[in-house]
Amino acid sequence: MRKARVALTYLVEGSFDAARRAFREAMSSDPMLFEAAYGLAVLETDAGRAPEALAAARTALALASNDIARSASKTLQDLASPYAGPLPITK
């Protein structure tokens, strides 16, 4: 959780590359951390990086533990989806 909070601090400061790195590091450390996936989805949506936003939003949606988190993640997914193009299929 600490790494996700540090990433959020970078995001608020406008240090977007640092925030992106920190969110990804947080997700690598704890792949089940909703806050990191959602934060990355917000960052990528705001940056106009639709494929990355969609992937992060889908991860956040899968990790969401309540209706509010699911709704917020679904909103980001719906925003990015029309612009993301097809995502590669992973096994």
Q: Are 39 and 68 in contact (CB under 8 A)?
A: no
Confidence check: pLDDT of 85 > 90: no
pLDDT tens sequence across 26-76:
999 999 999 999 999 999 999 999 999 999 999 999 999 999 999 999 999
- pTM for the complete prediction? 0.89
Q: CA angle, corner 43, sides to 65 and 66, nearest 5?
A: 10
Residue 35 corresponds to which amino acid?
Answer: E
CATH, domain range 2-82: 1.25.40.10
Q: How far apart are CA 66 and CA 15, in angstroms?
A: 29
